Amino acid sequence: MLERRHLFPNVIELNYQAQRRFGCCVYLVYSGSDWLLMDIGYEDTVDELIDLIRQLDFSLACCRYLVATHADADHVQGFFRAKELLPEAKLLAHPDARSILESNDRIAAFAEIPAQNISIELPNLKIDQEINEGEQLRLGELDLEVWHTPGHAVGQLSFRCGNLLFSGDNIFRDGCVGSIDAHHGSDLPDFIDSLRRIQKSDVEWLLPSHGPAFRNDSELLQSAINRLDQYQHMADFGTCALDWPLLDEWEDELARGIHPAD
């Protein structure tokens, strides 16, 4: 049996536990003998992760939930295999993430990026239960508050548990945010709303889906919000922008016959 290395009370993160990087963060939250996993990563690491969980003295039959924070392949690909090993567990996702996964929408799930020759497997996943904004996910004595935090992806969920927020791909410790990509359903105004919500909350710790946990930091969030706010009026993210003021200026200059050297 292995000693549990807690990230926070009732929270184990499996990369941190193993002291090496498997892939995305995989949070094991438990209360008494009941436990859940938040995201799972790629399929080729699942057996090792489940074996690790077994060595931490969790009963596989007591896994209540497998939670998809969103539908991206690097977070969910392994859930098919995980369901085989944890048949009692219910797979949970937001309705919008469910649509992507159950229709095997490979573009929206980042399993297929033809222009970059990226093509990875995305098993057909069946969601057992939808969860959405305002609901409480009960696990033993713990309640996890469900937040819908779209922006990076449609149907992205975060979960508040006391002073912790499992924050998905909203923001990372270095101030980066989850990738912004129109084909993936990214939405800048929604993204900004999600970041503001996190910023305004009294949550103390953010537990992201990539990289280390970090303190909720208003300045870090503000700088990400400011950056995304600029993107809304820049060409950098193409159709994700709301407008591009340069084109209005140009139209005006064209109408007035202004030469670039004027």
**Of 57-96, which residues contact Zn ion (CB under 5 A)?**
none
Q: Which is nearer to Zn ion, 58 or 155 (CB)?
A: 155
Query: Shortest approach of Zn ion to residue 184 CB, angstroms?
Result: 10
Residues touching Zn ion, count (CB under 5 A): 1
Among 96, 169, 187, 190, binds Zn ion (CB under 5 A): 169
Q: How far is the CB of 71 from Zn ion (least distance, A)?
A: 10
Cβ proximity to Zn ion: between 64 and 210 the closer is 210
29-37, 46-54, 165-173, 197-205 -> range binding Zn ion (CB under 5 A): 165-173
Give least dist CB 229 to Zn ion, A: 22
Residue with the CB atom nearest Zn ion in the bound state: 169
- State the minimum distance, in angstroms, from the CB of residue 180 to Zn ion: 12
109/139 with CB nearer Zn ion: 109
Cβ-count burial 134-154 (b if 16+ within 10 Å, e if not): eeebebbebebebbbbbbbbb
Residues that bind Zn ion in the complex, under the rule CB under 5 A: 169
